Amino acid sequence: MKPGAKLGPYEVLSLIGEGGMGEVWKARDTRLDRVVAIKRLKGQHGARFQQEARAIAALNHPNICQIYDIGPDYLVLEYVDGQPLRGPMPDPLRVALQIVSALEAAHAKGILHRDLKPGNILMAGNAAKLLDFGLAKLTADGDATQTLGVSGTPLYMSPEQAEGKALDARSDVFSFGAVLYEVLSGHRAFDSLAAVLRDEPKPLTSPLADIVRRCLAKKPADRFQSVADLKIALERTAVTPAEEHPSIAVLPFANMSGDKEQEYFSDGLAEEIINALMHVPGLKVTARTSAFSFKGKDTKVAQIAQELGVEHVLEGSVRKSGNRIRVTAQLIKALDGFHLWSERYDRELSDIFAVQDEVSGAITAALKTKLSGETEGRRHYIPAVAAYEAYLKGIHFLWKPRTRENRERPREYLEEAIKLDPRFASPYAALAMHYHIAASVFMDPREAVPRGRESARKALEIDPCLPEANAWLGIFAIVYDLDWQEGGRRFQLAMASQPIAPLIRHWYGYFYLRPLGRAREAVEEHRLALEEDPLNLVMRVGLATSLREAGRHQDASAEARKIIELDPDYFPGFTLQAFDFTWEPLELALAFAERGHILSPWFTPGIGLLAGLLVRAGDQTRAQEVLKKLGDGERSEAGCAFAIYHLLCGEIEQAVDWAEKAIRRHEAMVTMLLLPTPWGPLLRRSPRWPQVARMMNLPEKAE
């Protein structure tokens, strides 16, 4: 063609681009008097031409080049007056979100792009336009599709695409990672097809580096499993930019008092310093559970820092004698062991709060954070020292495993703290947690829950912004009242407080998002929580269960194995593996259930799980012996246990009977166990499921 030529009602103006497959011309639509782009393909690419027309016609998105018309051998497209994408860019996150939004729209229609690269993304002002769907593949309901040979641009195609294997959405995720790498650095992630298959790109120094790294994982299972998951991660970065900030772990302070009973005080002091530092803008602080996991171990500072992913470690000691304390603290740079700061404080016990503030302030100054060294959340209320000591004792026992001997010790100390200082809000919130644990393990929920709810409400009367209190009211509303609306409202209030504590993220994902079928969002909350508390096994259980609910069974099983590696005596790791009985060989699932039951004979649902797996293995005699431990069904969580047992036996209606009993008895495990995978989908097979869903007050989209 030449300028001035006519294609139907279109007048050709100038050549825009050409390649082996055809040409692209700028033209004018003489009917509507508008500029368009005409793409004319060579004859041997006719099938591809028809495929591209169908793909683009199925899409309507502001970041996707639109199709206007189709001729016998050409496409008429929206003319985009822009330049191909080039890095580095001043606002990469905005551009990344636009591209991902376009891909999400395509994938929602079952369309894979398969040739995502900077040359196929035009920047028109501040807007990115995704074009050239010539290699797009229409899939059946988004399932993987087999490529017809190797097609695409080698330096941006995924490893599986390069090898001619079946593709799904994760292939476009990889290509997007290569594009984003170039947007951030100005350089290609890979310089050859061999590098795509074999090598890792040079590390990036960017807040988006972790997202790029995960997109470019060689194995599809290690990437974001959908563009929707990728978009959530990018949006989280937009809300809380992950700039390079100092990071620190506060280890439990050594108790130098010569009295093991004083351990609560040294632990409590370290925890309070953690809480103070979490409010310092620009400082990343490892949460208590992970930092305290090294207690009593002879682990070198460098190794601790490496496992927790931090640059600095604070360690110290406390000597308490009567009304006098001596606190020593030293801030260590893990890379070289250099002491950035150290100090000793000899004070009266009544000065303990001033010591905490001085330590956190000194650390802030030593790390020279970019923002103000003043904490945003300075202590608004200073409790009586005796009340504070009682509170620290309560927290100390609250985190310990419950035995018959120490079941009530947290309550006793927390109530003592309240008696000594009724205006101290934190003991009330901690009491709410105590009563939730009690309701799940050794106390009738109908007695424990009202007490826990009242404690949380009292905490909010004293401190209306206390996020833990709102979170516990949300948990009580969901787990025991099945009031999803109130639960969601309370969690919104809890999540509105900045910074968001890792445990609150975990509770939000585990108790609210996951049971409602929002597993992808739950996975992201658990991941964010684990960034601050990477060795927290409770949070890892939350991540594993949400991964399973999201259909990522292999990832869930891998996470369960990691839990077992971190602590071979932590029973949920084994129970989670046994839950994957449809994926694990039955013998292996049974072995996991056996081990879990040995470690936690009090965990009633584990009894039902073990008995049911024994039935599936053909050992009816032993199954009935195990089942006898549930007695007449009046034990805590027995309704859920019997429901699990009957589901494993294939007795769906008997399982529904017990599920209804569990709901009426307000058992805590109903929403945690009987809604998600694997038990929820089995219960849904019953014709009585709509009745059960109504009993649970489930929103329609979650049924």
Catalytic positions: 115
Residue 366 burial (CB count, 10 A):
19
Rg (CA), the chain: 30
Residues 81-85: contacts with CB within 8 Å, 24+ apart? 81/124, 82/122, 82/123, 82/124, 82/125, 82/129, 83/122, 83/123, 84/118, 84/119, 84/121, 84/122, 84/123, 85/118, 85/119, 85/121, 85/122, 85/123, 85/128, 85/179, 85/182, 85/183
The H or E element spanning position 381 is none
Name, in order, each residue with C-beta under 8 angstroms of 406's C-beta and a sequence gap of 6 or more: 397, 400
Distances (CA, A) of 362 to 280, 324, 367, 437: 12, 22, 9, 37
Query: How many Å apart are CA 125 and CA 127, to the nearest integer?
Result: 6
Query: How many Å apart are CA 170 and CA 361, to the nearest integer?
Result: 46
Pairing of β 284-285 and β 247-250: parallel
**Inter-helix orientation angle 571-579/553-566, to 10°:** 160
* Structure tokens that stand for 664 in this block: 């009426």
Q: Residues for the chain: how many in total? A: 703
AA identity, residue 22: G
AA identity, residue 546: S
Query: How many Å apart are CA 7 and CA 27, to the nearest integer?
Result: 9
Query: How many Å apart are CA 371 and CA 374, to the nearest integer?
Result: 9
Query: How many Å apart are CA 88 and CA 200, to the nearest integer?
Result: 20
Distances (CA, A) of 14 to 24, 268, 609: 9, 74, 71
Cα distance between the two ends of the chain? 59
Pairing of β 137-138 and β 166-167: unpaired
Among 199, 206, 200, smallest CA distance to 185 is for: 206
**Is the bond preceding 499 in cis, omega lying within 30 degrees of 0?**
yes
Rounded-to-5 percentages of helix, strand, coil across the chain:
50, 15, 35
